[in-house]
């Protein structure tokens, strides 16, 4: 399915402005004023919450297999996460996950 | 080696950030490949990287646009992934907040994980650096990183159109996300946030307009923050 061109450009520009705003908000505008502790405490966990929430359904119900759980993709996900946790090396985790995926897709035909 | 001039500050930044080139090249190539696989033109793909320069947010937006999620959800999710940039901005402020506005604006555009990590380490190690030296160091850090981010997005985009479907690239994004999550597990609060968000993401997968992602993300954030409060209290009780 194609992404609509008008939507795409809107997303690129809005995301560019939004990302710049996030990066500029303190250095440029807020200065040295303190932020409330409860807010900082929640902000600390945004990335570590949003990414797993995004990825979990894709791992269990991949679009490529029409939502059927796929042993090769599931194993690749487990390996990528495990290697990442053990080594803290993002690239090594990606390579291990991809290697697992291709090995199993080939073995399981 | 201590920094004595703005020129040596720039050179030190350049040298300190050089190893990150090994991360930037594969990541930007992967974005270029996946974006063109998703139907973006080479120009659109390159524009995406130049305008946004934030890997995780770009991958998130790309994934959700492919799923035809509503635009508001695409933006909210990608910006949520990018919220850490606001934290970076906050912690850089005491060091470079006194620089001229145009330099701060340029530094804001160039604030990425690598330039932030390098600069903070340097500013803490050598607190006597002048403001121009700090800015020179910062711009030194981004010099090997950002141009390569553009260049390898372009190269990935040019390659992407030629990769056959049998390569199962549909799963490159989930694998990349999982690999990026793992190093974020700094405390058990981070692990709890990720676990709660995953379970909530599965439970809310049927919620319309991809709103489930926002709900699951919020659930994870609250869980992480609460775990942190609980752990701090327990630590205080133990020391008493």
ipTM: 0.82
- Of all residues in chain A, the one with the smallest CA distance to B67 is A1
Disruptive mutation site among A9, A19, A65 for chain B (greatest number of B CBs within 10 Å): A19
State how far the Cα of B123 lies from the Cα of A73, in Å rounded to an integer.
43
Cα dist. B19→B13, B46, B118, B139, B207 in Å?
11, 23, 11, 16, 43
A48 in B contact zone (CB under 8 Å): yes
pLDDT in tens, B117-145: 788 888 888 889 999 999 999 999 999 99
State how far the Cα of A97 lies from the Cα of A83, in Å rounded to an integer.
8
- Of all residues in chain B, the one with the smallest CA distance to A55 is B174
Distance from CA of B239 to the nearest CA of A (A): 22
Chain B window 58-117: which residues touch A at a Cβ cutoff of 8 Å?
Answer: 58, 60-61, 63-68, 71, 74-75, 77-90, 92-94, 96-97, 101, 104-105, 107-109, 111
**CB distance A24 to B108 below 8 Å:** yes
- The predicted structure's pLDDT at residue B181: 85
Q: What is the pTM of this model?
A: 0.76
- Of all residues in chain A, the one with the smallest CA distance to B222 is A42
Question: Who contacts B62 (Cβ-Cβ below 8 Å, separation ≥6)?
Answer: B31, B34, B35, B38, B173
Rounded to 5°, angle at Cα B116 from B114 and B118? 70
Ranges of residues in chain B with a pLDDT under 50 are none
Ranges of residues in chain A with a pLDDT under 70 are 1, 27-35
- The predicted structure's pLDDT at residue A34: 66
Disruptive mutation site among A4, A54, A62, A77 for chain B (greatest number of B CBs within 10 Å): A54
Distance from CA of A89 to the nearest CA of B (A): 7
**CB distance B72 to B65 below 8 Å:** no
Q: Which two tokens stand for residue B197?
A: 């968000």
Cα dist. A20→A40, A66, B231 in Å?
19, 37, 34
Q: Which two tokens stand for residue A29?
A: 């505008």
B94-108: burial string, b at 16+ Cβ within 10 Å, e else: ebbeebeeebbbbbb
Q: What is the DSSP string of B16-50?
A: HHGGGHHHHHHHHHHHHHHHHHTT--HHHHHHHHH
- Of all residues in chain A, the one with the smallest CA distance to B92 is A27
Cα dist. B159→A102, B30, B33, B35 in Å?
20, 10, 6, 11
- The predicted structure's pLDDT at residue B220: 95
B122: closest CA among B4, B13, B11? B13
């Amino acid at each position: 399915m194609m992404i609509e061109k008008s939507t795409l450009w809107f997303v690129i520009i809005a995301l560019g402005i939004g990302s710049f705003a996030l990066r500029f908000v303190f250095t440029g505008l807020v200065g040295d004023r303190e932020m409330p502790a409860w807010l900082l405490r929640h902000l600390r966990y945004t990335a570590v919450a949003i990414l797993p929430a995004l990825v979990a359904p894709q791992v269990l119900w991949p679009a490529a297999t029409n939502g059927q759980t796929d042993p090769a993709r599931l194993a690749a996900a487990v390996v990528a996460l495990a290697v990442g946790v053990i080594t803290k090396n993002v690239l090594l985790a990606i390579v291990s996950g991809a290697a697992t995926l291709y090995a199993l897709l080939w073995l399981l035909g | 080696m201590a920094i004595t001039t703005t020129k040596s500050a720039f050179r030190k930044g350049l040298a300190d950030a050089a190893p990150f080139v090994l991360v930037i090249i594969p990541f930007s190539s992967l974005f270029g490949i996946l974006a063109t696989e998703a139907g973006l033109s080479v120009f659109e793909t390159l524009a995406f990287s130049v305008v946004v320069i934030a890997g995780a947010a770009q991958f998130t937006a790309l994934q959700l646009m492919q799923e035809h999620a509503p635009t508001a959800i695409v933006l909210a999710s990608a910006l949520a992934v990018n919220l850490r940039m606001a934290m970076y901005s906050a912690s850089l402020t005491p060091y470079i907040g006194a620089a001229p506005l145009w330099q701060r604006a340029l530094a804001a555009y160039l604030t990425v994980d690598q330039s932030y990590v390098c600069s903070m380490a340097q500013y803490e190690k050598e607190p006597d650096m002048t403001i121009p030296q700090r800015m020179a160091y910062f711009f030194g850090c981004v010099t090997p990183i950002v141009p390569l981010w553009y260049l390898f997005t372009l190269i990935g985009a040019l390659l992407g159109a030629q990769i056959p479907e049998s390569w199962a690239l549909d799963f490159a994004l989930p694998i990349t996300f999982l690999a990026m999550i793992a190093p974020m597990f700094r405390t058990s609060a981070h692990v709890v946030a990720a676990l709660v968000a995953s379970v909530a993401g599965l439970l809310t997968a049927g919620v319309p307009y991809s709103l489930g992602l926002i709900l699951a993300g919020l659930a994870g954030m609250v869980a992480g923050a609460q775990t942190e409060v609980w752990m701090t209290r327990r630590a205080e009780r133990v020391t008493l």
